[in-house]
Amino acid sequence: MQDRNILHPAAASSLPVEVSHLTKSFGSFRTLDDISFSIAQGETVALLGRNGAGKSTLIGCLMGFLLADSGNIDIFGYNIAILPREIRARTGFVPQTMTGFGNFRVAQLMDYIAAFYGELSPIDPALTAWADLDPKKQVRSLSGGQKQRLAIVLAMRHSPEFLVLDEPVASLDPHARRDFINLLDTYTQRTGASILISSHILSDLERLCSRLIFVRQGNVVLDVSTETFRATTRWLEHPAPDQLLAALPADIQILGQRPDALLVHGWTGNLILPEGTLTVIPDFEDAFLEITTPRISPAETNTPDSAT
């Protein structure tokens, strides 16, 4: 998978996570296509995309569960290809669904997992209070939401510096979900940990995350701070969008198009636009739909159905 030698951490940059030119195919279907990004310490990054966009595959590669075809992933300066123990000890992962361990009782499983990390400080009381789990219950008897809470506690028990969450709130009720988002927010502020979170609950991501990475068909189509996204993403409404297109400077990114409007990124109030253009702040969900809708061209054959 890796194109270069394993880095010694001392030689690495100070960014906790660096992904460069990652590709991954299943058969002839290219799931990840030249993905590059990095995550700084203390950043909370949202991974956004439709079903099948490649989010879980990317997370699988980041966690070392999947081997990429090419490209590099360095976490804390260590190349993931050999996954040194140090990466695991400093990383937490919440999967989409928790499977296995059905015969364990909750407390037993917590102790069992904690044992892999050596000496641990006492568990954060805010985490156990939020999870609200009966320590004597068997894991198999927990509800879907309770299993999800347990998976979150297990991933955060050792206070990871890099926490990866793959749709962690899908089975949580709105109370638990809101409290969890607040818990994550407090956690990053207290510890300076970096977070990568994939979810379809867009309001949570917009509230929690300082950065947004939009993935479409295995490509990163937009990687931007939430603040910049809010300030510079606009619908430009005009009956003739072609006139708009002609008037826009080259550094404006076109994120989407409707018969009477363009969704642009890089907007500033100084743009000189055709007369009658209306500038509208997009609703976040609306923008998500536009940015992540697959673009189909007749020549495009890279679909899961075409995979062998």
Ligand X SMILES: Nc1ncnc2c1ncn2[C@@H]1O[C@H](COP(=O)(O)OP(=O)(O)OP(=O)(O)O)[C@@H](O)[C@H]1O
Binding region for ligand X (CB under 6 A) = 26, 31, 49, 51-57, 304
Angle (CA) 197-203-207 rounded to 5° is 70
Task: Provide the 8-state DSSP code for 63.
Answer: T
Q: Which is nearer to ligand X, 243 or 302 (CB)?
A: 302
Q: What span, in angstroms and rounded, lies between the C-alpha atoms of 146 and 139?
A: 9
Residue number, 31 or 277, with CB nearest to ligand X: 31
Q: Which residues pair with 196 in a beta bridge?
A: 45, 164
Nearer to ligand X, 55 or 157 (CB): 55
C-alpha distance from residue 86 to each of 3, 4, 67, 195, 248 (Å): 21, 20, 19, 17, 49
State the minimum distance, in angstroms, from the CB of residue 7 to ligand X.
26
Phi, psi of 223 (to 5 degrees): -135, 110
> How far apart are CB 17 and ligand X at their closest, in Å?
18
In angstroms, what is the minimal distance from the CB of 221 to ligand X?
13
* Helix or strand (DSSP H, E) at 94: strand 91-94
Q: Among 57, 86, 46, which Cα is nearest to 205's? A: 46
Of 88 and 200, the one with the shorter C-beta distance to ligand X is 200
Query: What minimum distance in Å lies between the beta carbon of 99 and ligand X?
Result: 15
Nearer to ligand X, 110 or 195 (CB): 195
Across the strands, what pairs with 46?
Answer: 197, 212
Q: How far, in Å, CA of 254 to CA of 218, rounded?
A: 19
* Interatomic CA distance for residues 194 and 5, integer angstroms: 25
Shortest distance, position 64 Cβ to ligand X, whole Å: 15
Q: Which two tokens stand for residue 114?
A: 């904690």
Contact predicate 102/140, CB 8 Å: yes
The minimum distance between CB 56 and ligand X, in angstroms, equals 3
* 76 versus 214: smaller Cβ distance to ligand X: 214
Q: How far is the CB of 288 from ligand X (least distance, A)?
A: 12
